[in-house]
Amino acid sequence: MSIRKIFLIRHCRPKIIENVSICLGRKDIPLSKEGIDEAGQLKKYFSNIGLSGIYSSPLIRARHTAEIIADKKMNVIIKDGFSELNIGRWDGMSFAEIKEKYPLEYMERGKDFENYIVEGGESMADCQARAVKELYNTVQETSDNILIVAHAGVNRAIISKILGISIKDSFAFKHEYGSVNYLAFDGKKFKVIKIGVSISELSKM
């Protein structure tokens, strides 16, 4: 079997307050104007790359990114397993607010980042398990090169599993909005080729 290219993308910039670091999970926030422009740049780049399918998380910021890239030339297939981490009652809060309201929980999560579950949510380990399962299911039901639009948490979880490192250690890699991770699949296993390639760097990929 020939080596397949799997492009794992973080959705483009959502409509959030600039310079405020928020904990964004399942809260369904649309793309900002800047995000729509970023997705247009991704569309231009991937129009020259043969893709057999485009897949997306169901959240609107990911789905809209995927739809812009698809440019009505193919259908975007929604995959629930690529949804962002369910961060429970912290969803949509700023990290400053979380630290103020839930200082002990914030500290405990930091001690056991992969397994801690915020009330109403899921652990990073659970997120990783269902995202990796969805990835394998997706490649097994497709052929050739595919593109997946997901989220920073999901993409880090997938990449850390392939690399055999902890999810916490994967934060050493940048994942800007609209950034592209390039994976190769030989029919049995994945290999990480490039991580977090920004839109401005795509021409070098």
Q: Buried b / exposed e across 8-46, counting CB within 10 Å, b at 16+?
A: bbbbbbbebeeeeebbbbbbebebbeebbebbebbbebb
Q: What is the 3-state secondary structure (H, E, C) of 56-81?
A: ECCCHHHHHHHHHHHCCCCCEEECHH
- Which whole number is the average pLDDT over 4-27? 93
Count of all residues that appear for the chain in the document: 205
Position 145 in a domain: yes
Position 98 in a domain: no
Position 131 in a domain: yes
Position 106 in a domain: no
- The residue assigned the tokens 């399918």 is 53
Q: How many CA atoms lie within 13 A of 25 on its CB side?
A: 17
CATH number at residue 66: 3.40.50.1240
Domain count of the chain?
A: 1
CA neighbor of 101 nearest in space, from 119, 124, 122, 121: 119
Position 101 in a domain: no
Residue 204: pLDDT over 80: no
pTM of the model: 0.95
Position 57 in a domain: yes
Domain residue limits at 72: 4-19+31-86+122-204
CA neighbor of 79 nearest in space, from 151, 143, 145: 151
Residue-wise pLDDT tens digits, 71-95: 999 999 999 999 999 999 999 999 9
Residue-wise pLDDT tens digits, 19-43: 788 999 999 999 999 999 999 999 9
What pLDDT score was predicted for residue 18?
Answer: 79
